[in-house]
């Protein structure tokens, strides 16, 4: 991928200040206000400050990578996609740059929340911090692909609303908001089958330097494997329709 | 798979070969059995009224639309191959620009995608965008946006340039400047295809015109030939006793019509037709000669579906 092309996509992504600030501020503000009164509690077997840090990181980073789809939808709605398709730019580079921008926004969210977590007494070793980061980055892959899918099936106008609903659903069922919907039974099985659940669990999994259990890896891989051909399909349908 | 060296077709001088191209949208046939070849270095105008199939044809040449039947070859390869080799540049009719980037940043980005782009500063001058190069693309007027689209097409320095209604949204002065820049580009030996519904534009700047109406080619020839055909004059006169068949055979006359005592002669060459008319029918009087409007000419050329077959000139 050309550095100039990537740079222009990054500029475009980070110059949308209002969007960037709001999407960064929301999970951080939520974290600061809710962790304050709960900072001496524990939840799901770990300190509340750690659990909720991961919850808010999951919320913020899911939004970060899915919102790459909003840029794709805008390119499509405005006709810019057609202009790009008559240049030598490859499809891989086009989507690659969007995903990189999503991940850069996600890294910023993670950094802010880790700082906030540290302020509320979260103490992890360097290896544990790196494990948290690594698990989050891997766990976001299906959401990045989901963003590409949504970018092709939604218009620029409907994207924000649809993304809000989808992120809320993944958040509630994934345990982002630190309340127990279920600890056993079929609902719990559904929760454990969502990639957002494993994003939140990345904190707990990293303590002591471990990773997810096999189940977590399988869920992330399965969502990626199912969503990727779907992304290819909607992309093909979109290019044929013109 | 990339064409680093050009694949040449059997005819080494053809940049574009379009063969029996057809495209339907639902029950509408947007492009109907269109064939033409464009030699390298030619400036070709696709002329036609709105809905004639110009944009659809351009989309298929660029590989943006898939033909239902027929074939497009660019420099001997498929459109996709030519596009990925950077041999093609285009200016599409619609299309917003990327927000949050300045004009210079946007043109620089597009330049970076091509193997041998023109220097960005040169393109900004040539396209008339230098004056607002540091402005964000969402702060531009319609005419400025159109110039930026032109800059994007130019910076590729591609061998083939397709321009869909390039002067739409431009005022008269900008239009003149645009064509001056375009001539400079054509002088570098580039092949250019542009769509327009202005006869004057096609006449002034193209080497050749392909006239489209309702998805079909109704005429294909040099600008002088086309002008004679669509820009012909009409002679109206009072002549009660002449048969239409006798009038139709007069040199310079294409079609004739009668309403009461008044006959109407549509002419490719009204001078010759008038000489013949006065010669053969001395009784003719109240002669009126007027130039046919382009819209009338389009209608005349395409009025009867049975005669709308491609007319060789």
**How much is the ipTM here?**
0.86
Instruction: Express as a percent the part of chain B with pLDDT over 70.
Output: 88
Which contiguous run of DSSP H or E holds residue A182? none
User: In which element (H, E) is residue A42 found?
Assistant: strand A42-43
Instruction: Decide: helix, strand or coil at residue A89.
Output: coil
The encoded tokens of residue B162 equal 């397709």
What is the tens place of the pLDDT at every residue in B272-281?
999 999 999 9
Q: How close, in Å, is residue A68 to chain B by CA atoms?
A: 14
Can you tell me the distance from the alpha carbon of B29 to that of B20, in angstroms, rounded to the nearest whole number?
13
pLDDT for position B228: 67
Among residues B234, B308, B312, which one has the least CA distance to residue B277? B234
DSSP tag of A124:
-
pTM for the full model? 0.81
In angstroms, the CA B215 to CA B52 distance is 5
> Which of A4, A75, A82 has the CB atom closest to B112's CB atom?
A4
Residue B302 has pLDDT above 80, yes or no: no
* Nearest beta carbon to residue A2 from set B59, B112, B156: B112
Looking at residues B56-72, what average pLDDT do you find?
93
Residue B100 confidence (pLDDT) above 80: yes
Closest CA to B106 of A238, A157, A15: A15
Strand ranges across the sheet with B208-213: B88-91, B160-164, B191-196, B43-47, B208-213, B216-222
CB-side exposure of A156: number of CA atoms within 13 Å?
A: 12
DSSP code for A49: H
* CA dist list (Å): B102 to A94, B107, B112, B130, B203: 20, 9, 15, 11, 35
DSSP states along B94-116: S-PPPTTSBHHHHHHHHHHTSSS
Judge: B113–A85 Cβ closer than 8 Å, yes or no.
no
The pLDDT of residue B80: 92
- A155-to-A13, A65, B189, B307 alpha-carbon distances in Å: 18, 17, 41, 44
Residue B231: per-residue pLDDT? 64
Q: By CA distance, what is B91's nearest residue in A?
A: A83
B15 touches B74 (CB < 8 A): yes
Q: d(Cα A238, Cα A31) in Å, to the nearest integer? A: 39
B95·A79 Cβ contact <8 A: yes
Say whether B72 sits in a helix, a strand or coil: strand
Interior angle at CA B85, CA B82 and CA B90, nearest 5: 60
Cα–Cα distances in Å, from B103 out to B140, B145, B149, B166, B204?
9, 9, 10, 18, 30
* Residue carrying the six token digits 């009409």: B234
Q: Is A237 exposed, middle or buried (0-12, 13-18, 19+ CB in 10 A)?
A: exposed
Distance from CA of A237 to the nearest CA of B (A): 12
Tell me the two tokens of residue B107.
């043109």
Q: Kindly list the residues of chain A whose beta carbon comes within 8 Å of any beta carbon in chain B.
A: 2-5, 7-8, 11-12, 15-16, 74-75, 78-80, 82-83, 85-90, 240, 242
- Predicted confidence (pLDDT) per residue in B214-234, tens digit: 899 988 988 777 766 666 788
The helix-helix angle for A126-139 and A48-66 (nearest 10°) equals 40
Residue in B with minimal Cα distance to A84: B110
Q: Encode B55-84: b = buried (16+ Cβ within 10 Å), e = exposed.
A: bbbbbbbbbbbebeebebbbbbbebebbbb
Contact between B232 and B290 under an 8 Å Cβ cutoff? The reply is: no
Q: pLDDT tens digits for chain A (242 residues)? A: 689 999 999 999 899 888 888 889 999 999 999 988 888 888 888 889 999 999 999 999 999 999 999 999 999 988 899 999 999 999 889 999 999 999 999 999 999 999 999 999 889 888 889 999 999 999 999 999 999 999 999 998 999 999 999 999 999 999 899 887 878 888 999 999 999 999 999 888 888 768 888 999 999 999 999 999 999 888 888 876 54
Distance from CA of B299 to the nearest CA of A (A): 29
Asked if A8's CB is within 8 angstroms of B106's CB, the reply is yes
pLDDT of B5: 42
Q: Find which of B86-90, B203-207, B220-224, B296-300 is predicted with most confidence, using mean pLDDT.
A: B86-90
pLDDT band at B299 (very low <50, low <70, confident <90, very high): low
Give the tens place of pLDDT for each residue, B154-201: 999 999 999 999 888 788 888 888 888 888 888 888 999 999 988 888
Write the CB contacts of B207 (distance below 8 Å, at least 6 apart in sequence).
B42, B43, B44, B222, B223
pLDDT at residue B10 in the model = 47
d(CA A39, CA A25): 20
Question: Which of B105, B114, B115 faces A11 most closely, judged by CB atoms?
Answer: B105
Residue matched to tokens 């992330």:
A220
What angle is formed at CA B124 by the lines to CA B118 and CA B127, rounded to 5 degrees? 100
Candidates B94, B98, B111; nearest CB to A12:
B98
Q: What are phi and psi of B258, to 5 degrees?
A: -135, 135
User: What percentage of chain B reaches a pLDDT higher than 90?
Assistant: 45
Does B310 score more than 70 pLDDT? no
Cα of A71 to nearest chain B Cα, Å: 10
pLDDT of residue B160: 95
């Amino acid at each position: 991928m050309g550095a100039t092309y990537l740079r222009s996509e990054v500029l475009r992504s980070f110059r949308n200040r209002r969007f960037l600030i709001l999407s960064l501020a929301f999970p951080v503000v939520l974290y600061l206000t809710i962790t304050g009164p709960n900072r001496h509690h524990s939840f799901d077997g770990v300190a509340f400050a750690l659990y909720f840090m991961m919850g808010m990181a999951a919320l913020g980073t899911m939004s970060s990578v899915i919102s790459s789809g909003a840029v794709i939808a805008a390119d499509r709605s405005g006709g810019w996609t057609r202009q790009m398709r008559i240049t030598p730019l490859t499809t891989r580079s086009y989507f690659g740059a969007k995903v990189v921008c999503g991940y850069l926004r996600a890294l910023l969210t993670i950094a802010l929340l880790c700082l906030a977590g540290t302020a509320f007494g979260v103490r992890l070793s360097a290896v544990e911090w790196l494990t948290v980061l690594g698990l989050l980055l891997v766990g976001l892959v299906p959401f990045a692909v989901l963003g590409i899918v949504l970018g092709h099936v939604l218009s620029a106008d409907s994207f924000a609303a649809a993304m809000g609903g989808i992120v809320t659903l993944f958040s509630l069922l994934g345990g982002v908001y630190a309340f127990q919907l279920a600890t056993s039974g079929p609902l719990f099985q559904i929760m454990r089958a969502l990639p957002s659940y494993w994003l939140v669990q990345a904190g707990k999994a990293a303590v002591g330097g471990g990773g997810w259990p096999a189940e977590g890896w399988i869920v992330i891989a399965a969502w990626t494997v199912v969503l990727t051909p779907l992304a290819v399909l909607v992309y093909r349908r979109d290019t044929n329709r013109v | 798979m990339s064409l680093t060296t050009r694949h040449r077709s059997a005819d080494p001088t053809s940049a574009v070969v379009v063969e029996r191209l057809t495209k339907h949208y639902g029950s509408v046939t947007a492009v109907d059995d269109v064939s033409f070849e464009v030699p390298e270095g030619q400036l070709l105008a696709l002329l036609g009224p709105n809905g004639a199939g110009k944009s659809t044809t351009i989309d298929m040449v660029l590989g943006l639309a898939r033909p239902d039947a027929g074939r497009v070859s660019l420099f001997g390869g498929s459109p996709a191959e030519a596009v990925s080799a950077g041999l093609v540049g285009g200016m599409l009719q619609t299309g917003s620009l990327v927000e949050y980037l300045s004009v210079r940043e946007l043109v620089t980005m597009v330049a970076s995608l091509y193997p041998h782009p023109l220097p960005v500063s040169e393109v900004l001058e040539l396209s008339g965008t230098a004056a607002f190069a540091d402005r964000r693309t969402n702060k531009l007027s319609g005419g400025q946006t159109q110039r930026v689209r032109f800059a994007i097409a130019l910076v590729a320095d591609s061998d083939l340039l397709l321009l869909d209604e390039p002067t739409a949204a431009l005022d008269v002065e900008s239009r003149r400047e645009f064509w001056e820049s375009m001539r400079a580009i054509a002088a570098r030996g580039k092949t250019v295809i542009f769509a327009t519904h202005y006869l004057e534009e096609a006449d002034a700047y193209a080497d050749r015109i392909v006239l489209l109406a309702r998805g079909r080619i109704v005429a294909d020839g040099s600008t002088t030939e086309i002008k004679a055909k669509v820009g012909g004059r009409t002679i109206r006169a009072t002549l009660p006793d002449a048969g239409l068949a006798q009038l139709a055979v007069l040199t310079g006359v294409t079609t004739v019509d009668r309403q009461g005592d008044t006959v109407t002669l549509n002419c490719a060459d009204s001078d010759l037709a008038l000489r013949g008319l006065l010669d053969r029918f001395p009784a003719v009087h109240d002669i009126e000669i007027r130039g046919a409007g382009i819209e009338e000419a389009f209608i005349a050329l395409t009025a009867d579906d049975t005669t709308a077959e491609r007319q060789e000139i």
